[in-house]
Amino acid sequence: MELENAAIFDGEESLSKALSEILTTGTVAVITEKGRYYGIIDDREMRGGISDSSKAKCINMAVRAPSISEKMGTDEMMDRFLAGHFKALPVTRGGRVVGLMSRSMLMQRLIVEKSVPKISVEIIMNTPLYTVDANESVAVAKRVMKTSNVHRLAITQNNKVIGTVSTMDFAGVLLKPKGRDFMFERSGMVEKTDAKAVHEFMRDKFVSVNREDSLHVAVERMAANNVSAVVVMEGAKAVGVVTARDVMKFILGLHSEKPEVFISGLGQDDMEYYDSIRQELKNSVKKFGEAFEIDTINVRIKKGKSTYVVTTHVAVEHSPIRLKVEAYDLKSAIAGTAAEIKSLLDKKKNHMKTKKRPFYAEEA
């Protein structure tokens, strides 16, 4: 397995060292505790509330992201990446980090294994393409990213795409050259940055494909250019975007047994429970597989001040069953969700049996 070198920091080391590495290389920093993998620091997951990175520890900002083992198959690797918006994940051997697997490397792996479906990019592209005018402020761009739940925007001028901008481009300006202090919250420096025009942080080069191109072409360009998204063009007009996440979700949908379980909103400190949550929810519908066609289970987890709220949509016979469960801890919220799913499906199954009874049947 070909891997990238990992920038590894002990959890007790100064946060400023890890941030400097991230902003220099554009990759993630891997954090260890007592020599074993603990989590990562990624520009997409940077927490607020730290005013001086030289006095903070790496472990204070580490996200408990999943790791990849050398023995995993490609489907399992894709599943790990879909647990969050990670640009790279650590590969471990016996709990110790041996390298990094990036999304573009995973795209290359799909090409080598000939796993990319023979379809056109427009089948899985996202529309509309989220854009912001080159003269708009950084504050507006950040708001669009947050509202649209994306980490990258296309920059336009006279309705023509001229570049892209990502959270990484904004993160770089927050590392002060003097003292290497990483500032969060609404510091004066952040306010000045927010007022600037977004084109000042734009990447001039962006990777594109034509609408009629195959998905294979899009995946090849992601791998060759070390990017995780390509803009889909129709002539001179940008009409959509295809991301590595789109590719992974589509391919997994072809390979995986139903139902597919999609989990979003899982907090940084709870990310390690992704696999167990997914399995528990799959088990909740297992006995109903012969009675119903259950396509997907979409779960949104929201952590409040004192409770967890789990909102779930279960696609049964192509119609959604919706439910919401609230509990004081994540384990109880998921257990309650699984129990409620079973209860609702039991009722639906019994209702179907009742409907099938002949009208002339006598009551016992």
Provide the token pair at 202.
């734009």
Q: Which residues contact 326 (CB under 8 A, 6 or more apart)?
A: 307, 308, 309, 310, 333
Q: Number of folded domains in the chain? A: 3
Measured torsion, CA atoms of residues 11, 14, 19, 20, in degrees rounded to the nearest 10: -130
pLDDT in tens, 67-125: 999 889 999 999 889 887 788 999 998 888 999 999 999 999 999 999 999 999 999 99
The CATH number for 201's domain is 3.10.580.10
Whether residues 83 and 190 fall in one domain: no
Q: Which of 75-89, 185-199, 334-348 has the highest mean pLDDT?
A: 334-348
**Nearest in space to 227 (alpha carbons), one of 120, 109, 103:** 103
Please report the pLDDT score of residue 182 as a whole number.
43
The DSSP element (H or E) to which 334 belongs, if any, is helix 330-356
Confidence of residue 180 (pLDDT cuts 50, 70, 90): very low
Q: Are residues 138 and 218 in the same domain?
A: yes
Whether the pLDDT of residue 48 is over 70: the answer is no
* 189 and 309 inside one domain: no
Tell me, yes or no, whether 234 and 129 share the same domain: yes
Dihedral angle sign, alpha carbons of residues 353, 354, 356, 357:
positive
Q: What distance in Å separates the CA atoms of residue 253 and residue 284, rounded to the nearest whole number?
A: 20
Domain that holds residue 220: 121-249
Looking at the fold, whether 72 and 167 belong to one and the same domain comes out as: no
| Residue 116: inside a domain | no
Kindly state whether residue 108 falls inside one of the protein's structural domains: no
Residue 115 main-chain phi, psi, to 5 deg: -100, 0
Give tens-digit pLDDT for 285-322: 988 878 888 888 889 898 888 999 999 999 888 788 89
Residues 152 and 180 both lie in one domain = yes
Q: Please report whether residue 321 resides in a domain.
A: yes
- Does residue 96 sit in the same domain as residue 126? no
> Of 194-203, 239-248, 319-328, which gets the smallest average pLDDT?
194-203
Same domain, 216 and 325: no
Same-domain check for residues 280 and 338:
yes
Q: Do 184 and 254 touch, CB atoms closer than 8 A?
A: no
Mean pLDDT of 209-222: 95
- The pLDDT tens digits for 222-262 are 999 988 889 999 887 888 889 899 999 889 888 767 788 88
pLDDT higher than 60, residue 361: no
Q: What is the mean pLDDT of the chain?
A: 83
* pLDDT above 50 (res 188): no
- Flag whether pLDDT at 187 surpasses 50: no
Environment class of residue 44 by beta-carbon count within 10 Å: exposed (0-12), middle (13-18) or buried (19+)?
middle
pLDDT given for residue 253 in this prediction: 80
Of 102, 129, 144, which residue sits at a domain end? 102
226 and 128 in a common domain: yes
209 is written with which tokens? Answer: 């494909």
Would 112 be classed as within a structural domain? no
For the cut 80, the answer to whether the pLDDT of residue 30 exceeds it is yes
Pair type for strands 237-243 and 7-10: unpaired
* 244 plus 324 within the same structural domain: no
Say yes or no: 189 and 223 in one domain: yes
